[in-house]
Amino acid sequence: MDAKQELQAALAKVFAADSALYQNRGFQRRIGFGKRPALINIDLANAWTQPGHAFSCEGMETIIPATQELLKAFRARKLPVVYTTTAYDVTEGPNSDMGLWQYKIPVEVLKSGSVEAAIDDRIAPEPGEHVIVKKRASAFHGTYLAGMLRAAQVDTVIVTGVTACACVRNTVEDAIAEGFRPIVVREAVGDRIIGAVEWNLFDIDAKFGDVEPLSKVLAYLQSNEIG
């Protein structure tokens, strides 16, 4: 067993014990699937999916194929597909749109229209699919996402992407606050640190949305539960 596997095994043991505590207190309830899902792919752009960037994340050998399967299923059912990327139009001077985030992380490398901010070609958007350029962590913060989903009569958001600790988590928290059922696909979420993935998936599942395996989500997408 290598160091990565040892860490995952240790975290699984800890979270199994914590799950019992949460369940005894009434947490980890299931929100379940609704009748009209949309796929929200969070920040699967080159700065995160390719090696050698400040924002590069681990696990793309699993995340990209899982997202490809989800895209195929959504497109077959003609269901809404949305991507996000994070990018900035003005990274210098008094009119910067980076806000205070630039004092914590190197967002200045995420320039609008750059290769780094473009969605990875392996999961490229098809014509008509939305690519929302956001300035903050959540896909909902300051964007038209909630209104677009409501207009499409969406009640469930299937979430993939990076990072588990920030943009995915913030999106899920805002999704449930906005009245959408968040379902996070376990195999399709990553981060720069293994522990960040495991902890945040555990905590999201306890409080904000359902973390489900890819197989269960695909079965739902192929079922007659969708109206």
d(CA 198, CA 8): 8
156 - beta bridge partners? 37, 181
* Euclidean distance between CA atoms 40 and 89, whole angstroms: 23
* Catalytic-labelled residue, pool 45, 145, 165, 167: 167
Give yes or no: 57 in active site. no
d(CA 164, CA 157): 16
Neighbours of 18 (CB within 10 A): 16
Backbone phi, psi, residue 41, to 5°: -95, 110
Q: Tell me the β-bridge partners of 185.
A: 212
Residues labelled as active-site residues = 167
